[in-house]
Structures are given as C-alpha cells and as structure tokens.
C-alpha cells in the first residue's frame, strides 16, 4: 500500500485519517507532507509518498532528479534527523527513468538499484 501525498491539504488529511490508528504512522505522514512542501519551495516539484507495511520508506520522485540533487537533499538538515525521528528507515529516489537510489537513513549509505532486463 502506498500513501501518496500532494500539495493538496485535503489529500494529506485523507491519508492521515486512514492511518490514524498508529501515531507513528501519523508522524511519518506529517513529515512527508512537510518534506514535499520544502522541496517544492526549493524549486523541486517532487512527488513524495510513503511505502511499506509500517510506512517507513519515503519515496521521492521527480523527473529532474540528478545525483547532485539527491546529494543536496540527503545532506540537507531537512532530511536526516527529522526523518529518523519520524521513524523513517529508507528514502527511495527515482527520476522515473531506469533504476533508483535507495538511501539507508541509519547507515547513511546510498545504493543504486538498476532494473533487471
């Protein structure tokens, strides 16, 4: 199950109401909404969503995503400690093309995953 977040406050409220039985998940939904807003303010119109049973994976998709942009996001104070505090474990970056970058928040390590042909 994926909870998609958009700039629309109504969608965020809807997503929160569906997972309101778990306050930890609510914290992750709140973080994801705020994080998407921060990216948008910096000129990165990314789509941010939560994945996984416990919603501990944050997915960031944007067609303009480059390794340099990912590095800027990963090293920014907006991600590290606040994401860990919200209970997130992994951030998946995708530009909608081949492959993706998986960032492990605990280990602070990045892994490139190429699609299988």
The pTM assigned to this predicted structure is: 0.78
Domain count, the chain: 1
Q: How long, in residues, is the chain?
A: 117
Whether the CB-CB separation of 64 and 75 falls below 8 Å is answered with no
**Is residue 91's pLDDT more than 60?**
yes
Strand partners, 92: 59, 102
Q: Give the range of the structural domain holding residue 63, as residue numbers without chain letter.
A: 2-113
**Is residue 2's pLDDT more than 60?**
no
Residue 67: CB partners within 8 Å, gap ≥ 6? 101
pLDDT in tens, 23-81: 889 999 999 999 999 999 999 999 999 999 999 999 999 999 999 999 999 999 999 99
pLDDT, position 97: 83
pLDDT, position 70: 93
Distances (CA, A) of 84 to 16, 27, 36, 81: 19, 11, 16, 5
pLDDT, position 116: 66
């Amino acid at each position: 199950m994926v909870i998609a977040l958009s700039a629309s406050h109504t969608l965020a409220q809807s997503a929160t109401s569906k997972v309101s039985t778990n306050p930890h998940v609510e914290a992750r939904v709140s973080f994801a909404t705020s994080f998407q807003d921060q990216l948008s303010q910096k000129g990165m119109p990314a789509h941010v969503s939560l994945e996984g049973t416990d919603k501990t994976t944050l997915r960031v998709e944007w067609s303009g995503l480059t390794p340099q942009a990912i590095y800027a996001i990963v090293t920014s104070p907006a991600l590290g400690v606040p994401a860990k505090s919200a209970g997130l474990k992994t951030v998946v970056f995708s530009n909608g093309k081949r492959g993706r970058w998986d960032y492990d928040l605990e280990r602070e390590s990045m892994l490139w995953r190429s699609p299988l042909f």
